[in-house]
Amino acid sequence: MLDTGVRQFRMAMGMVWGRRLSPRNIGLLVNDVIATIAEFGEPGEEAQEVLGGPLGSAEDRLEWANRGVNRTARRLAAKSPFYARRFAAVAADPAKLDVAGLRAIPVTTKQDLIEASADFRCSDVAPCLVTRTTGTTGRPAEVWLSRYEMELWPALGALTSVLRGELKPGDVMQVNVSSRATASTHLAATSCRLAGAMCRLLGILPPDESLDSLTQGGATLLLTVPSYLAELVHAARRRGLGPGDFRLRRVTVGGEVLSPHLAEAACQTLGVPLIEDPYSMTEVIPVTGRTCSHRHLHHDVNIGLTERLDLRTGEPAEAGALATLVITPYFPYRDCAPVFRFDTRDVVRCLPDGPLGCELAGIPATSQILGKADHLLHLGDGVVVTPRQLVDAIEALPAQPWPARYRAMADDGQLRLVLPAVAIAGIGEAAARRHLAEALGGLDVDLAIVDDDQARTLRPTRSDLRETTFASEPVLVGA
């Protein structure tokens, strides 16, 4: 107990003073949490404060953010060639930079990261691993990680997970994300190791193989992407599998929009109470967001700053407006190739001012991610259709066409939607049009139907990053 107190103190001091944290110390704290849960059944009250939050008041959060921004900016000005140039170009004094002064610094785009990847690397840190983004939005960006980061993030992740009961000794986590998502898979595997859980890294395999592993391997946790979850649900239903065939207690997805209909179907089939849908992005690791029961997305305030910038003006967005998330991970949580004011282009809607009324009400929130900014459809007169609206509407069709495959465009103020034939199976085009119009708030939908073999070309999903196995693919014979 005494040594636990010392470890907590060390971690707290590191967070307060902004010095590098000891991953080993945090790993030992994970052991302490596990021992605490083994003895008492759960951590003590206010265990979440060990993680540094939630910061109670807006003033506290602003003070914390000012210190984090200033500390990060000073380091980047001295160590990061890209940001040294950027700050100099706008004559910004990093020593005086705070949240109020951030607007003077241009946002960092993914294009910056792609074109000048090497310049993001800080001169005082040895890179250890490069990870590539695996999104479906275009060219991948590379993010360099240091050994410190590779040890720190899983340790923080494991500590958070065991404190919240999300990860326990004896758990078996099955990971069905692309094997090229090295940051994600490394985090999962190492967090499991620290928490005394097992980890099965499968990748995006043919769904039946993953289902075999889920049912026979005793997985209790599943980490995947919504589109692959959809394929698993389809495969499970086809095979007649139900809740009794799985030992799952948690399913977590990320990286894509998860529709309520798919989530509900997955819960019924896999036998879990809910599908967790947190927010994370390779470029801004380890800053994350959590979805509450009211489907708000609550943004981490302890290890990074999340700004909501109006899509049109680039200024802080008003309540009710659409905004892009611009994220700055603080030092010491990123040290190798940090980003500063990274424009994720992930769009959210700002919530109305006032109390949130959810279990995470103390943490700032927005709507869930509505899609990428470049995928918004502007129909005129201020009408905007988001990818989330489209996915929700299409995945609610009676044919259950999961994952939603569509192509959408604005055509002279009208929404033009292309769907594969399977999406409207059983109800016909007219009924589908009515369904979609109703789901999209009365919008007039110009619907076009294409053959099913074109479905994948309409909208790529992460489940398309399919990995082959000798078990599922014909084996070449001979030379």
Partner 1 sequence: MPATTEPISLLQQTLTEFGVLVVGVTLVISGALLYFRRVRMERPPIGTFNGRDIVILLLFISVLPFLYGYLPYWIITCLLIVTFSSALYIGYHQVLGRGWTWLGIGLLIGLNYWTSHHLMGTTAGWQLWWAELTILVGLGAISVSNLYVQGGMRLQLVAWLALGLAVYDIVFATLLPLTDQLVAGYLAHPLDPLLGMRFGIDNYGVGLGDLLVYSLFLIACYKAYGAKAARIAYGLILVMGAFVTAFIPFLGNFVDTQLDLLIPSQALFGPAAFGCYLWMKRRWGPERTMAQYLASADAAPAAPAAVPARLAPGPAPEPASEPASV
Query: What is the binding site for partner 1 (CB under 8 A)?
Result: 1-5, 8, 29, 32-33, 35-36, 38-47, 49-50, 163
Cβ nearer to partner 1, comparing 40 with 470 = 40
Which residue shows structure tokens 């995947």?
A: 224
Which residue shows structure tokens 């789901």?
A: 439
**DSSP letters of 205-219?**
--HHHHHHHHHHTT-
Contact indicator for 386, 410 with CB cutoff of 8 Å: no
Contact indicator for 276, 285 with CB cutoff of 8 Å: no
Question: What minimum distance in Å lies between the beta carbon of 8 and partner 1?
Answer: 6
Question: What minimum distance in Å lies between the beta carbon of 43 and partner 1?
Answer: 5
**Amino acid at site 56:** G
Which residue shows structure tokens 């998860």?
A: 258
Cβ nearer to partner 1, comparing 41 with 352 = 41
Question: What minimum distance in Å lies between the beta carbon of 49 and partner 1?
Answer: 7
Contact indicator for 55, 298 with CB cutoff of 8 Å: no
Cβ nearer to partner 1, comparing 44 with 352 = 44
Cβ nearer to partner 1, comparing 158 with 336 = 158
Cβ nearer to partner 1, comparing 160 with 306 = 160
Question: What minimum distance in Å lies between the beta carbon of 379 and partner 1?
Answer: 51
Question: What minimum distance in Å lies between the beta carbon of 3 and partner 1?
Answer: 6
Which two structure tokens, joined as six digits, stand for 176? 């069905």
Question: What minimum distance in Å lies between the beta carbon of 42 and partner 1?
Answer: 8
How far apart, in whole angstroms, are the C-alpha atoms of residue 78 and residue 124? 10
Question: What minimum distance in Å lies between the beta carbon of 36 and partner 1?
Answer: 5
Contact indicator for 195, 171 with CB cutoff of 8 Å: yes
Residues with Cβ within 8 Å of residue 349, at least 6 apart in sequence: 320, 321, 322, 323, 366, 367, 370
Cβ nearer to partner 1, comparing 4 with 179 = 4
**DSSP letters of 117-166?**
GGGGS-TTS-EEEEEE---SSSSPPEEEEEHHHHHHHHHHHHHHHHHTTS
Q: Which DSSP letter does residue 332 get?
A: T
How far apart, in whole angstroms, are the C-alpha atoms of residue 49 and residue 80? 32
Question: What minimum distance in Å lies between the beta carbon of 246 and partner 1?
Answer: 27
Cβ nearer to partner 1, comparing 2 with 58 = 2
Residues with Cβ within 8 Å of residue 426, at least 6 apart in sequence: 398, 399
Question: What minimum distance in Å lies between the beta carbon of 7 and partner 1?
Answer: 8
Cβ nearer to partner 1, comparing 36 with 288 = 36
How far apart, in whole angstroms, are the C-alpha atoms of residue 105 and residue 108? 9
How far apart, in whole angstroms, are the C-alpha atoms of residue 278 and residue 270? 19
Distance from the first to the final alpha carbon of the chain: 64
Cβ nearer to partner 1, comparing 160 with 368 = 160
